Amino acid sequence: MSAPLSPQARWALALLCLALYAGLCLAIAWRERRRARRVRDDAARLAAAPEGARPVLVAYASQTGQAESIARETARLLHTAGEPVHLCALDEVDAGLLARTRIALFVASTYGEGDAPDNAAGFQQRCMGQGLPLAELRFGVLALGDRTYAHFCGFGRGLARWLQADCDAQPLFEPVEMDNGAPQALTAWQQQLAQVAAVDARQGWQAPVFEPWTLAARRHLNPGSASAAVFHLELLPPAGAAPDWEAGDLAELRVPADPERPRDYSVASIPADGRVHLLVRESARADGTPGLASGWLCRGVQLGETVELRLRANANFRLGANAGRPLILIGNGSGLAGLRGHLRAQAARGGAGHWLLYGERQAAHDRPCRDELEAWLASGVLARLDLAFSRDQARRVYVQDKLREQAALLRRWVDERGAALYVCGSLNGMAQGVDEALREVLGSAAVDALARAGRYRRDVY
């Protein structure tokens, strides 16, 4: 048995741990400053234009970051070809900017059943309910969607119709529609860019590549649950790689049985973990067979085997300017993944005083990350933890009900403490119910203002 440490040794060890922690915080802060400076420099470079020039407007409506990523690469290529470019989210566009623009390119995803993404909802309310005199505007639209939804590419199609029918703008080409990231649609968009500038976008296009990540761990989180199985996966990057991402970002996985349609998963870890963590719920198709992606990830791929993965920035769900605010994190099911990423980031930087509201079915079986959440509650990273288990009583209880129960506290956190709200999980039911509850408690105008200020962010599916 080793001898106990002397008081001096214990003090030295404590000081060493404190120094290491301070070093970690400084490294994170330095990385964030460098990233913010790079983003500012890129924005200034793309927005720069010779005096009197009329830049090409490249506007994106993006919920998960895919449309924004395509828009940024579009803007970069145009700039490389010598075209002045104005790149922005659609919510930053107004009638005056459209009237001053000669060419506009819109990369527009669809949220839910045909709705505008959060960073385009304001534009839809302000502009798309009326006609504008835009006869001199020429435009192109890349509409992103998913054919499993009834209103495929609903917002992008509606935007194109409004521009042509209500504003007399002239289309450069027929709208290009992309189904779940299908590469053929991206190729078509790249070909159309030749109408805007002398550029071969197919040759110059730069996109993150898929790399082989190794499945290092997989744990079944809810044995005995009445709901579908949820697994915690840990994936190691390729040897020698040092991937970087932020809490809120997404992992795209290429499924062998359907390689043309990558699947998105919220990342539940931070770079300091050295691994990408995912929470994956095993789904079943209409005929009862396992879902192609979830079945393969949860049962098919074996430990030590590789999966094709790439990381994608999801600016709409990153902390950004909210890093120093109290966070109200709301989610259900595997949506805990995106919220866990934010809590791990806050714990790493010494953040404290956040509020998590999480819903599942049964307390006896559905408590993913239970020890971790309780440890954060005990340490102060979480100031409050509200759990809603819908099947543990005769009356169904969901996270939106918890919000209504704590209406006064919710108002104090938002109005007095300046809290930011992050919602992650299922669109139908949870996210819609949460939005309704927030509007009941805070008022619709206040919720819309929070969204415009970036203090109400959603990663829902």
Please determine, for residue 44, whether its predicted confidence score (pLDDT) is greater than 50: no
Is 20 part of any domain?
A: no
Do residues 267 and 412 share a domain? no
Do residues 333 and 376 share a domain? yes
Please determine, for residue 180, whether its predicted confidence score (pLDDT) is greater than 70: yes
Please determine, for residue 34, whether its predicted confidence score (pLDDT) is greater than 70: no
Report pLDDT for 271: 96
Which range, of 28-37, 60-69, 142-151, 424-433, averages the lowest pLDDT?
A: 28-37
Do residues 168 and 112 share a domain? yes
Do residues 197 and 282 share a domain? no
Is 10 part of any domain?
A: no
H helix or E strand, kind and range, residue 75: helix 66-80
Rounded Cα distance, 135 and 170, in Å:
7
Is 405 part of any domain?
A: yes
Is 15 part of any domain?
A: no
- Helix, strand, coil tally for the chain in percent (to 5): 40, 25, 35
Do residues 93 and 178 share a domain? yes
In the predicted model, what is the mean pLDDT of residues 129-140? 95
Rounded Cα distance, 65 and 44, in Å:
20
Do residues 54 and 199 share a domain? yes
Do residues 192 and 260 share a domain? no
In the predicted model, what is the mean pLDDT of residues 285-296? 89
Structural domain for 267, as ranges = 211-312
Residues 6+ apart with CB under 8 A from 444: none
For 301-321, write each residue's pLDDT tens digit: 999 999 999 999 999 999 999
Order of strands across the sheet that contains 250-255: 258-266, 250-255, 306-312, 211-220, 230-236, 276-281
Rounded Cα distance, 156 and 144, in Å:
7
Query: Which has more confidence, 38 or 288?
Result: 288
In the predicted model, what is the mean pLDDT of residues 185-195? 89
Do residues 329 and 450 share a domain? yes
List the CATH number of the domain containing 456.
Answer: 3.40.50.80
Do residues 116 and 130 share a domain? yes
Rounded Cα distance, 25 and 175, in Å:
46
Report pLDDT for 30: 46
In the predicted model, what is the mean pLDDT of residues 5-19? 55
Domain boundary among 282, 312, 342: 312
Domain count, the chain: 3
Domain boundary among 277, 312, 347: 312
Do residues 200 and 96 share a domain? yes
Is 349 part of any domain?
A: yes
